[in-house]
Structure formats: structure tokens, C-alpha cells
Structure 1
């Protein structure tokens, strides 16, 4: 099956034809003395993975692969990898690049139905490492609770690529019994070390990450430009959401962070490729509740960071610790009024009818705003990950 098809016949052009180039790039055609830009039409390809499959299969719906790694070896721009419910071993790396017009999508066909677990004698400290650009990782469960020897997982989903979307996954019980080391780890990490930029972490559940009293292992860790939106993050040994290294221009919007060492850290330092600071980061519409510390700035931060319309309450050490001269606005200092909350057990993070978070949010500048469950927030925007 051809991966990409340029459909040119729809253009009624009267002069020189445009050559068919086997690449995802626009080409120009001249009609009546003026040039017109022809945008290629992408025909998506599909691959399939199933616990009943075999990696010697062709990866079709009738003859699926057995592993995500095998599918990742043959994807091309515009491919969707459909992963059926079941258990799959992790510790793999995906490197293929999509493009702006033709992203590579790895998706669980049922939300949290495809479950990634540690293999026997793991050779990797990360469940899923992605280095490709223009990639989506959607709907998986990453469960590190059943260690089976080898390297212990310090990371759930790690991304070093650019323009990557990590959406609607559940990542939990990562690095619970490792020594507390300064090398750190995270449930989801978006890293700038490989010069990745502008990825997003949206609609994920990240919980039970890191050993007790270890500030080096975090829920969501960002070290470049990124968007962190509508995630539910709880029981994290370090920060629920932590920005460091080359982090800048980060949007942190509509998340719920509870039961962790620190709710949100906006920081910069120990740079990879820039000289800092972390500036023009926006922190808005987040619930930061029942952590040891609330929202904190650390290291080298700029004067254009903004903190608006957050609910920050009952963080035992301090609700706010911003850099000198910085302030927050529209803050609600009251209990969030979740439908149900148990710090050590199961919670329902939806706001109740009388929650002070209802209708008190502001729309982000990018205009895109779906909640944790995928609902469009509409005109009335609630603070926190879940719209009531």
C-alpha cells in the first residue's frame, strides 16, 4: 500500500504539470502566469499489534504483529499503529519520524487497554523511550509495579523528539523501590537534551511515582518548550509537574496535582543548549491541593512568567513561593470540593456542584482546551483537570 499519495487531478491547471515527488512536501504549479501552492493529500497507512500476533506477520488487521517495537521498525510518515488490548513488555525505543502533515500515531484501541509492563531482566530503565519527531502516543497504560529483574524503571514515557503528543495515558508505579538518586526520573518526561521542542502532555493520569521522600523523581518533567494540559497527577515523591534545564514558554493549564512533595515547580538551570532563563511560562487554571508545597519558582526564572486563576490550598509548607517581584492573580484559596478525595486511596477528581473551581478558569491563549475526559470546556471553564 502506498504511504503517501499526491492527488493532483482536482486542480484544473492549464500550464506546466507539477512533478510527483515522493516526499511530504508541497510543490508549485503554474496556471495562467501565476503560481499556486499544491498541498499533498496524505493517505494514512495502518499497522496492527495484538497479544495474539506474531512479529513475522505483515502487521495487517488479520495478521498483526506481536510487539509495538516491531511495528515501530516499519512505520513511515502517516502510519497509525493500532494496539489491541492486552499486555506488552516495555523497555523499547521508537525512533521513526513523522511530519507535520503526516504524524506517526501509536494508539491503544481501547483507552488504557494496551498495558506496558517490565520485561524479564530489563535492559532499559525506561518503559518507552521516543526519539522520533511528529509522533503521538495515545491511550496506553504503563504499569511498573511488577519488577522482573534487570534495570529498574526510572521513567515511564520519555520523549526526546519534537512536536510529540503524549495523550490520554495512565502511567503509574514507576521507580517506587529504587534508591533516591540525583539522576532522577519521571512518570512522563519531555526532554530537551536531544534538542526536542514544543511537545505536549495532555489528559494523562500519572500517579504513584518514586520512592517515599525522594525529591528527584517527578510526575511530569519538562526541560524544553511544551504544553502540559488537563493531567491528573497524584502521589509523586518529588514534584507533580517539574520544569528545569532549558524549560521556557511552557503552558501549564488545567491540571490537578495532589498528595505530592511539591505541586508545580517552575524553574530553569543546568542548561543543555540555552542560557535561560525559564521565561514566558504560563501557569493557569490548575488545582494544587494537599501537597507539601504548592506552586514554586526555582533557579533562573524570568519576569514574564504568569500565574493566573489557580486553586492553591492546604499545601502544608507553603502554597506559594515565587521569585522576588513576582505575583499571582485570581487565586482561589479554598478546598477544591472534589466529588470524592482520599489521599491514600481512590479519588474522584471531578468538581462537585458547589466546588469553588466551577466557572472560575480563564481561556488559554492557544484557545484549545479539552478536559481530562476529552470534553470541550466551552464558555465556562472550570479550574482543574476535569470539567464538571
Structure 2
């Protein structure tokens, strides 16, 4: 079976409005070198010694060009006005210039509070309890690109809290680790809005690759696209109380990573949606080797699309997991066109946690089982009123389970009781799938995969 094609966002979902790439600076270039002096002119022949001095001197439209070396300082990239041109802070040459803490008691290595583009730097937090870079209230049309961030023991590598129109692209973010606690690769906190995370490699952190959470208001309109998210102590993408989030075309793998955090703090989910998140699209991702693939749990999330994902090798680790897609509590959910292979538990677990799922549509998914041929578990009727379950494709010999099916069989042809072993139905023939359809009145148009 081929990978599902990429699909377009449903019209109800939103993505950030992308501004055109900013032009190269037309203002003055300020050069910084470990061999320079802050009394210098800031030219290539007479560079400054510290980045902080260049930051103080730069005007909108200027460029700060940092030559290779190690710089021990903290930076405050302040606002020059909401309509001012961005200032470029770029590492020049190879290896990248390395910024390390000058004062390890500070909370953050780089504060961004205005329109700044930060490119081609190494932000080495060097074991300090600090965030590498924070896009704070006032940061707007700002970016971090082509950089490496690592080595912190604070709450995250990158914090976006109150920033708007922020882009994180083509960065490597790794080894932000707090013993027994969360340290996320990227934390997006409301009221941040219009945030793009694209082409980043985020791994080996003690929390999630990316967490989206509410602050003074929900974060709104976040695009997570074409990233590699892997080997985290907890989850890949954790979405809680955020709005209009799109997660598409990413590769997410190897959760949880017990080398960076002891097991037990999470289910090791590639994507988890909870705490009343709204308007979330999970599309076209490849998910490998996780405790769960996609989970929708806890306080009901609303208006969700889980479409065209490939989910493989979902493990029963931590114990009690192993589901490909688990919809426990939600409103208005579409689960469509997914391929789910090699799950330790059910490929699809739908409204089977004793909580209500309303407006659930499940169609055209291919379920191929794993070490146990468990394909789908459907909760009791009262937990999924009005479910639309149709045109799915089940592995021949796999097992479907319907909670409470014995109640349905009362007064029905006694032969159906024999077909269901307890509440499970092995699909040993097309006729068995006919029994499932006739008893449960679902899955019209579904068939078996050989």
C-alpha cells in the first residue's frame, strides 16, 4: 500500500498568514569579533567586541554580522517600534559563532522583544537553568533560522510567549533536560498568535518536542510543518487549550526516550490533544515507534481532523498503551484516510474510555494490526451517538471489538452470539464483517485487506 497523498486543509481550519521573505538589510552592517573592541567602528577592519554593543548601536534595517568565536553574554533584542524594519543578527562563517551565558543566574540567554531576525548562531546554554531564546510580548515578524540550540536545564529551548507572526525554521534544538521535569524543545504559550515552526530537527529533550499551551489567553493559529521530532522524554506535539493548530507533513518517532527521562510521566504520544483545544488538524504525518500515535483525551477538544497519516510500530510502552489513534473525549472529529500498521493494541480506539465523543466520523482508514491482530475497539453506543463509521479496510484475520455488544444480541439471531467471542469478532472471512455491520449498523462499504 502506498503512503497516503498529502491533503489540503479543511476550510474550517486556519494556518498562519505567511509574510513574504524579508529582503536583505539595506542599512549599515555592524561587525563583531572576539578580536574586536567595543570602542571600534563596527566595520570589518575595526569590529566590535560584543554582540550587545552592536545591538545597542543598530538601527532598523541594519545587520549585525557576528564572526566565528565564543561570546559570553546575554542579549536583549528590544523593540525599535512596531512599524520599524527588522534588524538582522546573523552569524557569519564556519563554524557558527557560539553564544554562551555570561551570567548563569539569568533566566534566558536571548530575549526578543521587537522585529529581529536571528540566523546561523549556536546558542549553547552550557548546563545553565536557562531558556536559549524567548520571543516575548512585543516581538512581531521575528524569526530564528539556521541555528543550533542545546544544553539548557530550564523549561524549554525556545519560548514563544506573547509574540505574534514568529517563524522558527531550519533549526536544531536538542538536549534541554531537567531531571525528572519538563524541558520542551519549543513551548508556545498564549496569547501568542500566527506562529510557524518549519523544517526544524527537535530531539533529546526531557519534555515534548513542541508544546502549545494557554497563558493569559489561548495560543492561536500555529503551523507545525515538515519537522523531524524524535526521541523525547515525553511526547512529540502536545496541544492543550490552544486554537487553530495545524500539524502536517512531520516525521515523529521514538517516544518516550527513557535515556533522557524515567518512564511514567507520559504515554509517549506522538501527538496528544486535550484540555479543550479547538480547531486542530493532524494531517499527512509519519508516526513511528511511540506509546500512542494520536490521542484525544481528557477535557473535550472540539473540531478536529486526523487525516492521511501513516502510523507504524506503536508499542505497549509505557504499559497500557499501544493504540494507533485513540479518541477518548471530543466533539466533532474526522478520522479519515489513515494507514495504521503494527500496533501493540487497537489501531483505532473510539469512544471506549467511558467518556462522550460526539460528531465522530471515521472513514477510509486502513488497519493492518501488529503482534496482536487488534484493529478497532468501539465503545458503547451511549458514548458515540450518531457515529459515522464507513468504508474502512481491515486486515483479514484481524479482530474488531464492540463494548456492550452482548446487550445488542439480546433477542437477535442466536448465531451472532457465536460469532462474537465475548465482545470480539475475528475477521476470518468477509461474512464475519457482514455480521459486524448487521449487528452494529455501522461500517457500510468497508472491506478486508488480504
Q: Report the aligned-residue RMSD.
A: 3.1
Question: 250, 257, 261: which is aligned to 1:255?
Answer: 250
Residue among 168, 171, 174 paired with 1:172 = 174
CA distance in 2, matches of 1:138, 1:259: 25
Which is worse superposed, 313-322 or 118-127?
Answer: 118-127
Of 173, 197, 201, the match for 2:197? 201
Change (3 A) 1:168 1:55: farther
C-alpha change, 1:305 and 1:89, in structure 2 (3 Å) is farther
Offset of 1:158 from its aligned partner?
1.4
Please say if residues 277 and 302 of structure 2, whose CA atoms lie closer than 8 Å, have aligned partners that are also in contact: no
Of 339, 358, 380, the residue aligned with 1:332 is: 339
Find the aligned partners of 1:174 and 1:200 in 2 and give their Cα distance: 21
Partner of 2:296, secondary structure, is strand
Secondary structure of 1:180's match?
Answer: coil
**How many aligned positions are there?**
268
Distance 1:49 1:334 in 2: 53
Aligned residue number for residue 285 of structure 2 = 286
Alignment of 1:31-46 (within 5 A): 43-46=26-29
Question: Partners of 1:48 and 1:305 in 2: how far apart?
Answer: 49
Q: Give SS of 1:304's match.
A: strand
Q: 1:197 to 1:320 in 2, by over 3 A?
A: same
Distance 2:48 2:159 in 1: 23
- The range that moved more, 63-72 or 125-134, is 63-72
Q: Does 1:78 align with 2:76?
A: no
Query: Which range moved further: 324-333 or 73-82?
Result: 73-82
Quick one: distance in 2 between partners of 1:319 and 1:297? 11
* Shift in Å, 1:138: 1.3
> Tell me, what secondary structure is at the counterpart of 2:324?
strand
Partner of 1:219: 209
Q: Give the Cα separation in 2 of the matches to 1:76 and 1:301.
A: 48
TM-score in terms of structure 2 length: 0.52
5 Å-filtered alignment, 1:51-62, equals 51-62=34-45
Is the contact between residue 112 and residue 140 of structure 1 (CA under 8 Å) also seen in structure 2?
no
Deviation at 1:66, TM superposition (A): 4.4
- Alpha-carbon displacement from aligned partner over 1:58-111 (angstroms, at most 9, x marks no partner): 544444444544444444443444444444447655343675783344444469
Computing the radius of gyration from Cα coordinates, the structure with the larger value is 2
**How far has the Cα of 1:126 moved from its partner?**
1.0
Whether contact under 8 Å (1:108, 1:139) holds in the other structure is no
Secondary structure of 2:165's aligned partner: coil
Instruction: Specify the alignment match of 1:137 in structure 2.
Output: 144
1:196-242 CA-to-partner distances (Å, cap 9, x unmatched) read 211111111111101xxxxxx21112231211111111111111122
Kept after mapping to 2: 8 A contact 1:174/1:209: yes
Taking structure 1 as reference, are residues 334 and 280 closer, same or farther at Cα in structure 2, changes over 3 Å only?
same
1:103 and 1:120, CA in 2 relative to 1: closer, same or farther beyond 3 A? closer
Instruction: Give the corresponding residue for 2:318.
Output: none
> Please, which runs of 5 or more residues in structure 1 have no aligned partner?
1-41, 146-151, 211-216, 269-276, 336-388
Cα gap change, 1:311 to 1:153, in 2 (>3 Å): same
The 1:307–1:96 alpha-carbon spacing in structure 2 relative to 1, beyond 3 Å, is: same
In 2 relative to 1, CA 105–173 (structure 1 residues): closer, same or farther, beyond 3 Å? same
Cα separation, 1, equivalents of 2:95 and 2:189: 24
From the two aligned structures, give the one with the greater strand fraction: 2
Q: Is the 8 A contact 1:281 1:304 kept in 2?
A: yes
Structure number having the greater helix percentage: 2
User: Residues of 2 paired with 1:110 and 1:282: CA distance?
Assistant: 39
Of the candidates 154, 162, 165, which is equivalent to residue 164 of structure 2?
162
Question: Which of the numbers 234, 243, 261 marks the counterpart of 1:238?
Answer: 234
Partner of 2:310: 311
On the 8 A contact 2:26/2:62 being kept in 1, the answer is no
1:254-298, CA deviations, whole angstroms, 9 ceiling, x for partnerless residues? 111111222112233xxxxxxxx4222221121111112211223
SS of equivalent to 1:164: strand
CA contact (8 A) 1:105 1:135 kept: no
TM norm structure 1? 0.60
